[in-house]
Chain A
Amino acid sequence: MLPLEAELPPVEALDESAEYPQVQLDHLRMWFQVGGGLFRNPVAVKAVDDVSLALWKGETVAIVGESGSGKTTLGRAALRLLEPTDGRLLYAGMDITHAWQRDLMWLRRTAGIIPQDPYSSVNPTFPIYRILEEPLAVHRIGTHAERTERIYRALESVKLIPPELFQMKFPHQLSGGQRQRVAVARAMILGPEFIVADEPVSMLDASVRISILKLLRQLQEASGITFLYITHDLATARHFSHRVGIMYAGKLTELGPVGAVLGEPLHPYTQALIEAIPDPDPENRGRERPALPGEPPLLTTPPPGCRFHPRCPIAKAGLCDVEEPPLRELRPGHLVACHLAS
């Protein structure tokens, strides 16, 4: 069997005429104010801090990070569900950083989200038909017959066949995998160009996971959707995305083609992350897995310099704890934010 990467169309060859990336994050910051009171100043949680990322039409970029690394916030900001604190967000070259929500109805039609938890993301009192009809109703699309046609086609595209049967079921009558297919169908029903898939399979069994991710790839091949795949699972990122970005404490630490980042990780955090993940192998039994001690920093008070330096095995005093490393392109298309990488 061909390696998966080869099956996916190469990104450069996708659309020569496209001048702008589908979605572009330009030095984006997303800070939240928490706490505060009469005698206390509120503190800023720097969930996403100075992240630049461009997604080209038809590609899947995986954002991998531990919980609390800011990856979900990044996804929500990329959809303008949050208004960035600083930086710019461009959609097909158009600056929508501070656009009003009511001027963004077109964006809501062309960009969608697949949420993490298929159990809580669909209204339990709605039948599947109504769950899928709602986006159409909100955007006042189609007559009743046209909507039904669209809903049936969407259900067929996510392999909930026959659609006549599934459209009248309620979420509790479906398995976790089937519910997630409904969530995919809902994200797809308006014919989007860009979808943020926020941990779409982390609640599902291994086999169901693969079936959903394969489905997403088929949909991408059929209609050239751009995916931002947010996950904590490097292994699925490897097999189902073109490029991968590693996030740590609100920063993008490494970004590049999947094969390069996982084959030759340049950032010590990426290296440690890869080391920590076991593939099924009985040899694992006899050895201890190299794992970094400690925990990621609090996003209210990230350490100065490189945010990873307190846990970094190769950190250099006087450099890493003082100066923040910029994201540098060390190999073609392969960027890393580390002073010591070469």
Chain B
Amino acid sequence: MAILDVRDLRYYYRTRRGPVKAVDSVSFSIDAGKTLAVVGESGCGKTSTATAILRLLPRNVDTYEGQVLLDDHDIMAYSDEEFRKEVRWRRISIVFQGAMNALSPTIRCGLQLAEPLIVHQDVDKGEALAVAREGLRSVGLPEDVALRYPHELSGGMKQRVVIAMALVMKPKLVILDEPTSALDVMTQANIINLLKRLQREASLSYLFITHDLGLASELADDVAIMYAGRFIEVGPASRVYPSPRHPYTQRLIQSVPLLRSEVAPDFIPGAPPDLTKVPEGCPFHPRCPAAFNLCGWSVVDLQGFLEQRSRSTPGATHAGSTYEAKGAWKLVITPRKGMGPSAVVQELQALVARDAATTPVLTAVESIAERSGRAIVTLRTAERPGFTSDDSRRAACWLLTETGGSHAAA
């Protein structure tokens, strides 16, 4: 049973250079008591995914759409006030990156912990402080930390306070945004152990955001690899780690220096794209060692492809195509003399059916209509590789489709 189900989430920032597509059609779900780790390089949109779910939006939002279902309720439909009261912190909380600096230096830790209770639940101060002390105990801190100021604590202790703060309203889902990135390895191991224990005890769900594949494997039931604002591979950790499907995931895993292995790490040539200028087609294709012509196809290329296809339809004399939106194309076909539009449509349908089997670009014929002697065909195409499913695992790469595979072999 999914506690969080995100469907086609888009979250773009507006800048002078055009929209920054930080989160671009991201879909995933997290089951109760499970962890999804989102792994990617810096600037790939990991943190934006988190802030989009929690609706912590800056002013320069360009696009913010999609569905976020929390326990089957679409929380995107909530008003900001409802969201603040019902969702944020109460049902989803977050441990921020660099959380050592997330505490106010002038307020005692206990009161900082109790604050959400006082604000959200109208609990009186004494009671809230008691809950706060309880929270400190649950993260392995002595109760007297409640009376101390953040500067009196070490980095690891501050991190524990921040975790206690995220759990004080007893949410079922906690977003962990690089929760240990500024800590030493020993402290990191202690914090990860703590997170494991808390998850076990309260059957919490985690959305764990990290750049460290090793660390991700500590908590992840499922792992999602993010690149240029998109999820390019999602699946159970037990399958993605040993046999990654997407070429980017494969290279990313190879770039991790292993402590317990002689295998030398190797880097991925090139750099991730600027999110205002994400390459057409598969965003990884300019760096991909296995890329072939289809990987870099743009909308314009697809248009050419479609026109060529509809021209080659027997019986058609005139063909034009227009791009509607989201991969939908409209083809207008005038039949040759002596031939009815329905005959052309039949021909085209057969052709598309054949193409769809051999060309992953064409996915489906949406509708075919006859209008004033012409055939108007709406086709659905993929602008970029869609997810191909392999059991529970999905990877967005042309090579993993049947045709793509033969391209790679050829």
Contact = CB atoms under 8 A, between A and B. Distances in A.
Bound together? yes
Interface of A: 1-5, 7, 66-67, 175-177, 205-211, 214, 232-236, 238-239, 262, 272-285, 288-293, 295
A275 B190 CA distance: 12
A262 to B, nearest CB: 7
Given A67-B184, A273-B186, A285-B221, A207 B252 contact: yes
Q: When A and B form their complex, which 7 residue pairs have the shortest distance between CB atoms, in order from nearest?
A: A291-B189, A3-B262, A276-B189, A210-B267, A211-B267, A66-B184, A235-B257
A238 B265 CA distance: 11
B241 interface: yes
B266 interface: yes
Contacts, number: 134
B264 A4 contact: yes
Interface stretch (B77-85, B168-176, B208-216): B208-216
A257 to B, nearest CB: 14
Interface residues of B, number: 50
Contacts of A272: 186
A174 B197 CA distance: 42
B271 A274 contact: no
Nearest to B220: A285
B191 to A, nearest CB: 9
A206 B252 contact: yes
A209 B185 CA distance: 18
B259 A280 contact: no
B369 interface: no
A205 B267 CA distance: 10
B251 A282 contact: no
Contacts of A291: 186, 189-190, 193
Contacts of A290: 189
A276 B186 contact: yes
B260 interface: yes
B258 interface: yes
B306 interface: no
B196 interface: yes
B347 to A, nearest CB: 49
Contact of A234 (B192, B253, B259, B264): B259
B115 interface: no
Contacts of A292: 186
Nearest to A212: B267
A238 B263 CA distance: 11
Contact of B259 (A176, A207, A238): A238
Nearest to A283: B217
Nearest to B223: A282
A274 B261 CA distance: 13
Most interface-central of A5, A272, A277, A293 (chain B CB within 10 A):
A277
B193 A289 contact: yes
B219 to A, nearest CB: 7
B147 interface: no
A205 B343 CA distance: 57
Contacts of A282: 217, 220, 236-238, 241-242
11 contacts: A4-B262, A5-B262, A177-B271, A205-B42, A206-B211, A262-B259, A281-B241, A282-B237, A285-B220, A285-B221, A292-B186
B256 A206 contact: yes
B188 interface: yes
B366 interface: no
A300 B175 CA distance: 38
A6 B196 CA distance: 39
Given A273-B186, A285-B219, A210 B265 contact: yes
Most interface-central of A67, A275, A289 (chain B CB within 10 A):
A289
Given A66-B185, A276-B189, A1 B256 contact: no
A62 to B, nearest CB: 12
A280 B156 contact: no
B350 interface: no
B130 interface: no
Contact of A284 (B217, B252, B261, B271): B217
